Chains A and B, each alone.
Chain A
Amino acid sequence: MAVATSSSGTATRPARSPSFRARKLLQLNWFGGLAGWIWLAIVLIPLYWIVVTSFKDQSAYFTQNPFALPSAPTTNNYRLVIESDFPRYFLNSVIVTVGTILPAVAISFMAAYAIIRGAGSKFLAGVNGLFLMGLAIPLQATIIPVYLLIIKMHLYDSLLALILPSIAFSIPLSVLVLTNFIRDVPKELFESMRVDGATEWGMLRGLALPLTRPALVTVSIYNGLGVWNGFLLPLILTQSPDKRTLPLALWTFQGQYSVNVPAVLASVVLTTLPIVILYAVSRRQLLSGLTAGFSR
């Protein structure tokens, strides 16, 4: 929550007392409440169905009520998925996601720091403008030249082919969010550190880094989600089965076992589970950071 307030400091709206607001919103119309509960059902029903069905065997799937709990729960579907090389695809996804996010966030952070500290420089303002432009452009539309580039670099069908463009695509949003946060670090803090003889790198590490940690986590999770779930890049830039990432593996698995719906749904559960666990751990960070990044 501190995240949201710190970044909205630039907004012109005055501060309000939370207790009063809570009281006000408590009487929010019943219409919103109704929508809220209906939406919950719309969200949860398919999710419940996925999980329940993934524990049924095929005959139960055809005969049982779709929402009934499995009469004879089985983990065979999960076994089939795991035996279909999913651990390897999982590893690939981890490599690509971590390999993208660590460098992407590091270089975006450095760029954001430079842009804020060098305010006034025409060059840096131009660079910032370029990154902002990247937000308005559907970068996926550039896939054909990216494909050509990757071929020319002899990276086709490698995990690095997925990592490099993914880093580039995560830069605009990361820089935007991080500059918003670094801008809120009081200038006097930088001044006093400089008087003490700190270099720019020292200030980046000793001052900007600890103060923007929540934003770094948010940006990492948000971009990580996009990379983990990415489909187009793996589809076009890789070819061999051992380079598959999870979304692509899901798709091919579904093509192979389309009749065996419970197994297909088990693969959906298995590929989503790590993300759900991560989400459970870091959701506060993600939700509040998201609000801070967009809701102005």
Chain B
Amino acid sequence: MVLPALVLFIVFGVVPLVGVLVLSFTQWDGLGAIHNAGLSNWRSVLSDSQLPHSILVTFEIMILSWLVQTPMSLLLGTFLAGRQRYRAFLAVLYFIPLLLSSAAIAITYKALLDPNFGLGPGLHLGFLTQDWLGRSNLALGVVIFIVSWQFIPFHSLIYQGGVRQIPTTMYEAASIDGAGRMRQFFSITVPQLKYTIITSSTLMVVGSLTFFDLIFVLTAGGPGDATRVLALDMYKRGFMSNQMGPASVIAALIVLLGLALALLLRRLGGSTTASQQEGA
């Protein structure tokens, strides 16, 4: 019974994974024959100044969007854990951004932030009237904002479930000891959510390695190379410059980075086999 899933996963999951490594040692333009290229792709990519830049941008987006998303999601998740009707209703509305495709979101924000016809000029608000996508730092900020807009609801729901599993006796005891709400939040809620935080962070961090659609449609990596993350770098080298070899080197780096980060976060959680199955 396990065979159909296993076979499909091997053919389109495991084989391509190995294929990334194999192709990184070849020369291929995407159409013609594939030639052995030895280590030349690795040598050229690793000495290319584009690579450190793409890694830097990727990590900037990863870390900054984590810093925005995690506290906000924790706060909203704790808020949503209340059983009040209106909070359930809010949760329903929060979820809507997750229904939109990244392409749709990117298109919307592109129009919304337009320096001539967007929201800022329309409302005559000076601080909103900026060349948001035309300046490096602003464009990076916009990407982080949109990512948060899109994914904070998802992580809030994860935290909501986590908070609801915390035994209320702990809060009772804390109240008797005179702990205020803030104190309870930091001394009970946050520590109790340790594994949930690890799960959510893993999803955020590994997920951020694959922000492709959003950035591709929003800025195409620009202005200049300001938002050229690794995934975009891979696409541009492979499918725009027809250099699949170097692109595969980038792909291999993305895979290694994803695995390393997932393992690191798991180590941080000091988790057992049981939570390995629950997390991911």
Contacts and interface: CB of A to CB of B under 8 A. Distances in A.
Interface stretch (A7-15, A84-92, A184-192): A7-15
Given A132-B277, A171-B8, A142 B99 contact: no
A82 interface: no
Interface of B: 1-2, 4-6, 8-9, 11-20, 22-23, 28, 30, 72, 75-76, 78-84, 87, 90-104, 107-112, 114, 117, 119, 122-123, 149, 152-154, 157-162, 164-169, 171-172, 181-182, 185, 195-196, 199-200, 202-203, 206-207, 209-210, 212-213, 216-217, 231, 234, 238-239, 244, 247-248, 251-252, 254-255, 258-259, 262-263, 274-280
B83 A40 contact: no
A228 interface: yes
A291 B94 contact: no
A127 B2 contact: yes
A186 to B, nearest CB: 19
A111 B83 contact: no
B10 to A, nearest CB: 8
Nearest to B104: A268
16 contacts: A8-B165, A13-B166, A21-B164, A32-B78, A36-B87, A43-B97, A46-B109, A108-B5, A130-B6, A142-B17, A142-B255, A143-B16, A149-B16, A171-B5, A291-B161, A295-B160
Interface in A23-64: 24-29, 31-33, 35-36, 39-40, 42-44, 46-47, 49-50, 61-62
Contact of B231 (A39, A140, A271): A140
Contacts of A114: 1-2
A32 B76 contact: yes
Contacts of A36: 76, 79-80, 87, 90
B23 A136 contact: no
Given A247-B213, A292-B161, A271 B5 contact: no
A154 to B, nearest CB: 14
A78 interface: no
A31 B164 contact: no
Candidate in B22, B99, B252 with the most chain A CB atoms within 10 angstroms: B99
B161 to A, nearest CB: 3
A238 B226 CA distance: 28
A81 B48 CA distance: 43
Interface in A260-296: 261, 264-265, 268, 271-272, 275-276, 279, 283, 287, 290-292, 294-296
A24 B168 contact: yes
Interface string A136-179: 11111111111111000000000000001101110111011001
